Amino acid sequence: MAGATVVGVGMTEFGVHGKTLPELFADAAFPALDDAGVEQDELDAFYFGNAMSGLSENDTHLAPKVATHIGMTDVPFQRFEDACATSANAFKNAVQAVGAGVHDTVLVGGVERCTPETGMETPEMTRVFASASHRQYEQPSGLTFPGVFALLTKRHMHEYGTTEEQLAEVAVKNHYHGNMNDRAHFGGDKTVEEVLDGPVVADPFRLMDCCPFSDGASAVVVTSDGLGDSFGAEGVDVTGVGHGVDAVPLADKDSLPETKSARDGAHEAYDDADVTPGDVDFAEIHDCFTGAEVLATEALGFFEDGEGGPAAAEGKTRLGGEVPVNPSGGLKAKGHPIGATGTAQITELTEQIRGEVGERQVEDARTGVAHNLGGDSGTTVITVMEERA
Ligand code: COA
Residue-level pLDDT at 73: 94
Q: How many CB atoms lie within 10 A of CB 58?
A: 9
Cα 228 to chain centroid distance, Å, stands at 24
Task: Assess whether pLDDT exceeds 80 at residue 131.
Answer: yes
Does 199 sit behind a cis peptide bond, omega within 30 degrees of 0 on the bond before it?
no
Please tell me whether residues 229 and 270 are part of one structural domain: no
Please tell me whether residues 148 and 223 are part of one structural domain: no
Domain-located, residue 124: no
The angle subtended at Cα 374 by Cα 53 and Cα 51, nearest 5°, is 10
Bridge partners (DSSP) listed for residue 203: none
User: pLDDT (tens digit, 9 = 90+) per residue, 293-336?
Assistant: 999 999 999 999 999 999 999 999 999 999 999 999 999 999 99
Candidate from 200, 213, 215, 248 with most ligand 1 atoms within 8 A of CB, to mutate: 213
Please tell me whether residues 30 and 68 are part of one structural domain: yes
Bridge partners (DSSP) listed for residue 78: 47
Query: CA-CA distance, 115 to 318, in Å (whole number)?
Result: 29
- HSE at residue 278, side-chain half, CA atoms within 13 A, is 0
DSSP letters along 167-211, please?
HHHHHHHHHHHHTT-TT-S------HHHHHHSPEEETTEEGGGBP
Domain-located, residue 321: yes
Please tell me the pTM assigned to this model. 0.98
The total domain count for the chain is 2
Of the residues 204, 236, 268, which one is the last residue of a structural domain?
236
Three-state SS at 119? coil
84 is catalytic: yes
Bridge partners (DSSP) listed for residue 273: none
Among protein residues, the one whose CA lies closest to atom 26 of ligand 1: 122
User: What average pLDDT does the segment 13-40 reach?
Assistant: 97
Contact criterion met (CB below 8 Å) for 170 and 293: yes
Domain-located, residue 135: no
User: What average pLDDT does the segment 152-170 reach?
Assistant: 98
Domain-located, residue 350: yes
336 is catalytic: yes
| pLDDT interval class at 226 (50, 70, 90) | confident
Among protein residues, the one whose CA lies closest to atom 20 of ligand 1: 207
Domain-located, residue 126: no
**Ligand 1 midpoint to CA 87 (Å):** 23
Residue-level pLDDT at 1: 55
For residue 189, what are the domain limits? 142-212+241-387
Among protein residues, the one whose CA lies closest to atom 3 of ligand 1: 208
**Ligand 1 midpoint to CA 376 (Å):** 20
CATH code where residue 187 lies: 3.40.47.10
Residue-level pLDDT at 276: 98
270 lines ligand 1 (CB under 6 A): no
Bridge partners (DSSP) listed for residue 47: 78, 108
Of the residues 170, 202, 236, which one is the last residue of a structural domain?
236
Domain-located, residue 127: no
Residue-level pLDDT at 233: 80
User: pLDDT (tens digit, 9 = 90+) per residue, 187-224?
Assistant: 889 999 999 999 999 999 999 999 999 999 999 999 99
Three-state SS at 369? strand
